[in-house]
Structure 1
Amino acid sequence: MTSKILIIYTGGTIGMAPSDAGYKPQSHFADLVKTSLNSTVYKTLAPFDMIELDTLIDSANIQLHHWTDLAKLISDHYDDYAGFVILHGTDTMAYTASALSFMLNGLDKPVILTGSQIPLIQPRSDATNNLLNAVAFAREPRIHEVCVLFDNQLLRGNRATKVHTSALRAFDSPSCKPIGHAGIDIEYRANTALPAKPKDFIIPTLTPSVSQLVLYPGISNAVIDAALLDPTVKGVVMSSFGAGNPPDSNEHLMASLATASARGVIIVNITLCHAGEVIQGAYATGETLNALGIIAGADMTAEAAFTKLTVLLSSGMSQEAIRSQLTQSICGELSNA
């Protein structure tokens, strides 16, 4: 079996260079890697091929079609490589990792996303360490999922979230332990990783039909209406207080939730808390949501809930099937399903 890795460079801080307008993605990243690493370190990457996107992306500009493009790129080259490394900006890396996990269901090899907080060409860059560790984990045949590798931690992709703007440990996985660690040795924790299962890639054309509604004290009717009552919206990820509690004294919010649910909008309720899960019905305010048919998102991250709902709504499934899938763990995104 080949040990060759495919590295896909999408842009992001790892390959950026200073400009008069701030850091910008630079092309010809393969040449940059070769000139930046000493020959001994560079050889540890081999064997590998690299594909660079024609249009590089600052990840703040990521769009739904980029996720489909990346999933198709991996699918098209799937049988030719032992694993895949995607070099990506940190701002939306967790969204991309989550989206890919739902489209590339049934992986039997690793897809590892990484990047850096400091560009490769800059002093004290974390890029080299992240790249080398990502490649090492991409050659681990016991990994069967999409992961985020950052600052020596290997995290499940659909459990990762960016937690710091400038620390080198920019990502965390608050409700799921890391599945690997790069220290003196590359440590893989088989008991926390997903088992292999039959390949079932679903790579639809993703449509922008999901909104996010973040609740806060004094939320305006206009914000509520934009998220729930827009006729193009088919799904909503609502971030509520504590264990999934809305301000049920807000009559406009509750009426809008009822109206949206009645017209077939699928609403998933997640918590604003950094960790823990939604338990609708633990308080009377949450029980109101159960009566409206709103789905408790358990301990899904905002990134996982948004991308899971987007992929399911774009896949042509029936509403009943989508609602069922949202309460089940497709690829490790839920702890208790």
Structure 2
Amino acid sequence: MVEKNRKKVCIIHTGGTIGMARTAKGYAPQAGFVKSTLSEIRELNAAEMPKFDLIEYSPLLDSSSISVKEWVKLAKDIEKKYNKYDGFIILHGTDTMAYTASALSFMLEELTKPVILTGSQIPLCEIRNDARDNLITALLIAGNYQIPEVCIYFESRLMRGNRAKKVSTNQLIAFDSPNFPSLADAGVKIVLNDKNIRDPGTGIQMFPIQEHPIAVIRLFPGIQFQLIEKMISSKIKAIVIEAFGSGNIPGKNAAFLKLLKKAQEKGTLILVCTQCLRGAASLGEYEASQELVKAGAVSGLDMTVEAAVTKLFYLFSKGYNMEMIKKLMETNLRGELTEHS
């Protein structure tokens, strides 16, 4: 009877460190390796564990090679198999995991089930690894808890996917959610933070996004704005500026002001995020951000750049006009930002 009532989870393996094997040229993805390794983990057969099916993509990709095409494929596969499973796990490389999680959070509208991305810093093939615990705990959460969000699970924390960032290349705590608390914490027990979890939607609706010409500019002292100004054309739909502090810029720099003016004339959306890990962009708070206000820039508030870029892809793909996109970029759609009070 227990077997009959066990939940069922779909695991989609896209690639990444978690499923790599040792080769003569170093760690590399190997078809079939994850399937054979999972069959050796006895805990996966425990009564409290959900049953699972494994789907392995071909070719397996390092996450630095994952693009919009793969995001859409993931979203379509989840939509197609949605009614067969209680939750979904995506095994993914860590480098662009936050981008994929953010993109899926916008594409998978009206979500009612958990979609959890996880991976590892050390592959399953090593005796000492973080992969095994990340996978087992992600499976337990995906199968046994109603969390209708796209999440990232890593090293004892379940984070909202569009709030997470990779913060370390060599520590096991590879991800953080700087501006939003955990959805769940896995210590001795798995504890849900119910007040942080979004309400379920009405039933999945998948909206495929498309690539759009967007530029990301990170400011630094001495940046040569003349070089950037040359790339501004009517083809560029949006510029995401990673500004200093709460949205400050070199407001006395003639070349930068010329760039802003040209972007405004071309109808290019200017979105301002902060370079800081915590906090928000607040345009007009300091004199140093007044030129952005004059140029009609939009504040990214406390969104991550990953969420900002994928949200722009999503809204441009929806076909909204520029004024609506500006409004929605400052509107909380999937828990990706904290709106002004």
Normalising by structure 1, what TM-score? 0.94
Q: How far apart in 2 are the matches of 1:205 and 1:139?
A: 28
Q: How far apart in 2 are the matches of 1:321 and 1:2?
A: 45
Tell me if 1:274 matches 2:285: no
Shift of residue 141 of structure 1? Answer: 4.1
Q: Identify the range of structure 1 (164-173 vs 62-71) with the bigger mean alpha-carbon deviation.
A: 62-71
Return the letter of the residue paired with 1:68: V
Tell me if 1:314 matches 2:317: yes
Verify the 8 A CA contact 1:202 1:315 in the aligned structure 2.
no
Please list the CA deviations of residues 48-79 of structure 1 after superposition, one character each: whole Å capped at 9, or x if unmatched.
11111121110011111111111111111111
Partner of 2:18: 14
Q: How far apart in 2 are the matches of 1:147 and 1:289?
A: 33
Q: How far apart in 2 are the matches of 1:297 and 1:133?
A: 33
Verify the 8 A CA contact 2:63 2:95 in the aligned structure 1.
yes
Tell me if 1:71 matches 2:71: no
Q: How far apart in 1 are the matches of 2:234 and 2:159?
A: 37
What is the count of residue pairs matched by the alignment?
335
Shift of residue 31 of structure 1? Answer: 2.6
Partner of 1:331: 334
Verify the 8 A CA contact 1:105 1:200 in the aligned structure 2.
yes
Equivalences for residues 98-117 of structure 1 within 5 A: 98-117=102-121
Equivalences for residues 205-284 of structure 1 within 5 A: 205-225=209-229, 229-284=232-287
Equivalences for residues 96-175 of structure 1 within 5 A: 96-175=100-179
Partner of 2:303: 300
Q: How far apart in 2 are the matches of 1:180 and 1:83?
A: 16
Verify the 8 A CA contact 1:153 1:178 in the aligned structure 2.
yes
What secondary structure, in the 3-state scheme, does the structure 2 residue paired with 1:24 have? strand
Q: How far apart in 1 are the matches of 2:255 and 2:210?
A: 31
Shift of residue 84 of structure 1? Answer: 0.3
Shift of residue 231 of structure 1? Answer: 4.1
Partner of 1:189: 193
Q: 1:205 to 1:273 in 2, by over 3 A?
A: closer
The one of 41, 59, 62 equivalent to 1:55 is: 59
What secondary structure, in the 3-state scheme, does the structure 1 residue paired with 2:146 have? coil
Verify the 8 A CA contact 2:118 2:154 in the aligned structure 1.
yes
Q: 1:5 to 1:200 in 2, by over 3 A?
A: closer
Shift of residue 210 of structure 1? Answer: 1.3
What secondary structure, in the 3-state scheme, does the structure 2 residue paired with 1:181 have? strand
What secondary structure, in the 3-state scheme, does the structure 1 residue paired with 2:103 have? helix
Please list the CA deviations of residues 66-116 of structure 1 after superposition, one character each: whole Å capped at 9, or x if unmatched.
111111111111111101000000000001000100111221110000000
Return the letter of the residue paired with 2:265: A
Shift of residue 331 of structure 1? Answer: 0.5
What secondary structure, in the 3-state scheme, does the structure 1 residue paired with 2:138 have? helix
Q: How far apart in 2 are the matches of 1:200 and 1:47?
A: 22
Partner of 1:81: 85
Q: 1:140 to 1:292 in 2, by over 3 A?
A: farther
The alignment-based identity, stated in percent, is 41
What secondary structure, in the 3-state scheme, does the structure 1 residue paired with 2:216 have? strand
Instruction: Provide structure 1 residue ranges, at least 5 long, that are not aligned to the other structure.
Output: none
Instruction: Provide structure 2 residue ranges, at least 5 long, that are not aligned to the other structure.
Output: none
What secondary structure, in the 3-state scheme, does the structure 2 residue paired with 1:311 have? helix
Verify the 8 A CA contact 2:9 2:85 in the aligned structure 1.
yes
Shift of residue 10 of structure 1? Answer: 0.2
Q: How far apart in 2 are the matches of 1:223 and 1:201?
A: 42
Partner of 2:28: 24
Please list the CA deviations of residues 238-264 of structure 1 after superposition, one character each: whole Å capped at 9, or x if unmatched.
100001011112211121122112222
Verify the 8 A CA contact 2:50 2:144 in the aligned structure 1.
no
Verify the 8 A CA contact 2:120 2:131 in the aligned structure 1.
yes
Please list the CA deviations of residues 187-221 of structure 1 after superposition, one character each: whole Å capped at 9, or x if unmatched.
11101111123346352341141111111111113
